[in-house]
Structure 1
Amino acid sequence: MSSQTPSASPAYVDAPTQPETRGIEVVKPSERHGRARDLFGVWAAPNVSVLNFTIGATMILLGLEIWQAVAVIVAANLLWVFPGLVAIAGPAAGTSGSVISRAMYGVLGNKVIIAFTGWLISAVFLALNWLASSFMGADLLAQWGFDDPVLVPILVTLVVSAITVLVAVYGHALIIKSYTAISIGLAVVFLAVTAFALPTVDWGYRAAEPLTGVPLWSAITIGFTIIASTPLSYINSPDIARYLPRDTKPSHIIAATALGGALPGIFFTVVGALIVTGLTGEQLDAGIESAILGLLPSWLGPLLVLGVIVNTIALNGMTTYTSSMALQSVGVPIRRIPSAIVIGVLGTGLTLYLVMSTSLLDAVNLMLQFLVIVSGPAMAIFSTDIVLRRNRYDAVDLFDQERGGRFWYTGGWSLPGMTAVVVGGIATAVCLSTEVWTGPVSEAMGFVDLSVPAGMIVAALVYLGLSKTRLGRFAEASVVSSTRPATAGADAVAAGSAAGSGEASA
């Protein structure tokens, strides 16, 4: 067993009024609490977002009719079932998803995957979300006489990022306790915006040149990929669910997570698609957010801006929280709270740079466009592993990083997992269609974008096939796992297990 597993079990408190000191350490059965339905508000709060308006408008600007846009929006949001599915691994193992994925990629391979998907990409997401709220907050302050084009966005960024990091520091209990109320408050504001914007909708809208044939399928599939990138990016869902009792019904976890993300996503994205039909070219030139602000009464505009900022804090607070554990899982000797602060500082620094520069913004946006190349296959592999193992994950084995451990595989690398994520990524890339990159398969099909289904299906099939061979040693692992009591891992590792960040918890 790894020497990083301490014999003592420090006391951890999961309360909204106290900072959460537990990181990737296992949650003991005696410390489990909560209900699956609590997850609904947690996932709704980040997804009651002005970004949905923008994405909905994009569907119409791609050339789709209203009913076609609605169909694409609903279909793409069905992928929220995948964050719901991987969330059930949290209560099963009692630890972070960035630790559970050692079962898929091996002890060393997992460090590479998590280093990229777990916190590097997260820092970029933090920056982009903070950037949007900073500029909208600065625009509001400019109306009140604070119009310094540099100082004001910087100050707004610092305030918003500080609150965000504070949410991440207080952690799980604060997120569970407050996000339901936040989602209700945001829903009220966004429904009020909807009420004032809908009268401008052109219900008889028809595209100037209706799409047919291959161009139509190109627009449909590109729109699907844009929307699908959001649910596929939430591979961190086990981190939020890990405190639930192990006997919580998986179906309830899946439903609460998936519906929490999908329902506001579908509704407000459809609203965005409807609103854009009544806007003029001049209004759109200023951006969909500014155009919507122009439709609102003077008292509602500031509330929308405040809602955007609160939504950003909710989204980035969760991102910072889960990223702090990802940093631990790759082996950085740091406790969770300092880790959250480090992530916040990195994101803040990048945001401030973006405030002063436009060239980097283009580069970051390009990076996010290609995120689906990693997120789609990774989500498919995680989901496939849960099905193959029947959601049986043993904490003792997950935290055993010694050579010869069950998840050491081949020199610390799981060849099935690493091969699947690479091959799946290639399949995604060759089927992807963006403004800066068109894969050869997509180009041959007339710019039809099948990147999401192609990447996920290929990754799942490769992982499934190789895991059944000696490369994966999957059969042996499944037998051992099925003979060990469900709570053995949590009892043995207890709450003080800090494998992957042993020095930090020593």
Structure 2
Amino acid sequence: MSHSTPQPTAPPDAAARAVAPARADAAARTDDRTDAYVDLATRPETRGIELVRPSERHGRARELFWVWAAPNVSVLNFTIGATMILLGLELWQALLLIVAGSLPWILTGIVATSGPAAGTSGSVISRAMYGVIGNKLVILLTGWLLSAVFLALNWLASSFMGAELLAGLGWTDPVLVPVVVTLVVSLVTVLVAVYGHGLIVKTYPAVTIGLVVVFVAVSAFILPHADWGYRAAEPLEGVGLWSALTIGFTILAATPLSYINSPDIARYLPRSARPSHIVAATALGGALPCIAFTAMGALLATGIDAAAMDLGIESALLGMLPAWLAPVFVVAVIVNTISLNGMTTYTSSMALQSIGIPMRRIPAAILVGAIGTALTVYLVMSTSLLEAVNLMLQLLIVVTGPAMAIYLTDQALRRNRYDGSALLDQERGGPFWYTGGWSIPGLVAAATGGLAAAWCLTTEAGAGPIAEALGFVDLSVPAGMAVAGLVYLGLSRTRLAGPTRP
């Protein structure tokens, strides 16, 4: 670690005055305002990664339940649930696996507690794990890659559903119609991200209630088609069963493990907010709708044949609904897409700032939206919804599992104590400069954890050497997280950690 050293001839107070502005860089961006920042739903949010001062903190932990519930009342859950049956599982096995795959939402809740502790975004807090410069590389992957993929996946779902509905009105172009739907939905999504935290917290409770009503109504029409005594044509056993179960778990766990950005929404809460309440609100808000509607997706798959599934889960689903409910459901899917991608675009705009690109948050949100739109248009023209969801969620585990494990380990080592001002200090020799701006423990842990996950991963595109040796049993989640967490823990206790150790 290289620290800047004051010149021998400089008096101590002069040296302190020279270093102090750099140390207060972040605070200055907030404190130079004469009035406290006001977080309103009717005003575009200009705050980015700047510190949220104590006087500007507000809200209660329970608000996070609605923030996380609205994005997860999603048609993607139907798709993921259907995948559990397509893997060859019995219905009861699929339902138990869906519950188990939702448990990682607890980890998302634990990570969220660092937001109020630091008063800044998760993409800045992770400088404690990777160093000022190393964090830019990690956020480029965990922030930008995740954001682009999830923006595309959700816009893809709304595009296909919107195209199915418009086809009934005579708009049948298989490429142009989904692209137009994508462009319209992405525009509204970016507007949500521009208005930011205040709009999200204010409107998402009503959005959640409305979505739940529609999705419950849809579920009522799915249930009569479900085969409650469903049994696979060739029941799995032995290694084949374990392969299906572990692949299914990887797909299910990918969603909660991807939300390393959960501190971004929680950072406005007062420091006095109880961590247990933050964990509970975040975890339950994400897990409950995931469990309910992923289970409905599994039930849906038991009641339709392979030919219908080949046409697409969205087509099969709309075919079960009465004429009056189908358009309502499509609108609900689009609203859900906007709520999820609005939050994703919001948090990824701060990830862009933390990388060091000199942009304010609102232009950054527009840029993120443009990139996600471009990827969605590409997917619309090249793949099906089911194929895109399964493959992308599995591949993301290589990045998200290790990153989540490192974050949790750092929280435990530091006892969730983070100094926001110090984290925003990017000057050479600052508290988190480590070794030339790089934290060796964090980066080595991320690389080794990602490698372990890749070796243990099984996808349709291929399998890692360990997964193949085990008969395509997928241990990518536990392997990647265990290796990353243990390596980070071990190296953090050595000289490689540098002076600013957890």
TM-score (norm 2): 0.91
CA RMSD of aligned residues (A): 1.9
Please name the residue that 1:295 is paired with. Answer: 320
- The answer as to whether partners of 1:92 and 1:246 remain within 8 angstroms in 2 is yes
Q: Distance in 1 between matches of 2:436 and 2:356?
A: 17
Please name the residue that 1:166 is paired with. Answer: 191
Q: Secondary structure at the match of 2:413?
A: helix
Q: Distance in 1 between matches of 2:482 and 2:304?
A: 39
Q: Pick closer, same or farther for the CA change 1:219–1:313 going to 2, 3 Å.
A: same
Please name the residue that 1:76 is paired with. Answer: 101
Q: Distance in 1 between matches of 2:297 and 2:88?
A: 14
User: Structure 1, residues 113-134: CA drift from partner, whole Å, max 9, x if none?
Assistant: 0012112331232123212212
C-alpha displacement of 1:366: 4.9
Please name the residue that 1:276 is paired with. Answer: 301
- 1:42 aligned onto 2:74: no
Gap regions ≥5 residues in structure 2: 1-19
Q: Distance in 1 between matches of 2:218 and 2:60?
A: 32
Please name the residue that 1:304 is paired with. Answer: 329
Q: Distance in 1 between matches of 2:395 and 2:382?
A: 21
Please name the residue that 2:15 is paired with. Answer: none
Q: Secondary structure at the match of 2:496?
A: coil
Q: Distance in 2 between matches of 1:443 and 1:316?
A: 35
Partner amino acid, structure 2, of 1:142: A
* Superposition pairs of residues 36-435 of structure 1, within 5 angstroms: 36-358=61-383, 366=391, 368-435=393-460
- 1:9 aligned onto 2:32: yes
- The answer as to whether partners of 1:81 and 1:258 remain within 8 angstroms in 2 is yes
C-alpha displacement of 1:106: 0.3
Q: Distance in 1 between matches of 2:454 and 2:214?
A: 39
Q: Distance in 1 between matches of 2:242 and 2:173?
A: 46
- Bigger mean CA offset, 354-363 vs 341-350: 354-363
Please name the residue that 1:504 is paired with. Answer: none
Partner amino acid, structure 2, of 1:33: H
User: Structure 1, residues 146-201: CA drift from partner, whole Å, max 9, x if none?
Assistant: 33444432322221111000000000010111111111111111100111110111
Q: Distance in 1 between matches of 2:501 and 2:445?
A: 19
Q: Pick closer, same or farther for the CA change 1:364–1:112 going to 2, 3 Å.
A: farther
C-alpha displacement of 1:250: 0.2
- The answer as to whether partners of 1:406 and 1:477 remain within 8 angstroms in 2 is no
- The answer as to whether partners of 1:65 and 1:206 remain within 8 angstroms in 2 is yes
Q: Distance in 2 between matches of 1:2 and 1:100?
A: 20
Q: Distance in 2 between matches of 1:371 and 1:54?
A: 17
- Bigger mean CA offset, 335-344 vs 288-297: 288-297
Q: Pick closer, same or farther for the CA change 1:270–1:411 going to 2, 3 Å.
A: same
TM-score (norm 1): 0.91
C-alpha displacement of 1:452: 0.1
Q: Secondary structure at the match of 1:371?
A: helix
- The answer as to whether partners of 2:80 and 2:294 remain within 8 angstroms in 1 is yes
C-alpha displacement of 1:384: 0.8
- Bigger mean CA offset, 359-368 vs 291-300: 359-368
- The answer as to whether partners of 2:153 and 2:388 remain within 8 angstroms in 1 is no
C-alpha displacement of 1:136: 1.5
User: Structure 1, residues 221-251: CA drift from partner, whole Å, max 9, x if none?
Assistant: 1100010111011110000000000110000
Partner amino acid, structure 2, of 1:294: G
C-alpha displacement of 1:394: 0.4
- The answer as to whether partners of 1:124 and 1:364 remain within 8 angstroms in 2 is no
C-alpha displacement of 1:363: 8.8
Identity, % of aligned positions: 71
Q: Distance in 2 between matches of 1:352 and 1:68?
A: 36
Please name the residue that 1:488 is paired with. Answer: none
- The answer as to whether partners of 2:49 and 2:354 remain within 8 angstroms in 1 is yes
- The answer as to whether partners of 2:251 and 2:393 remain within 8 angstroms in 1 is no
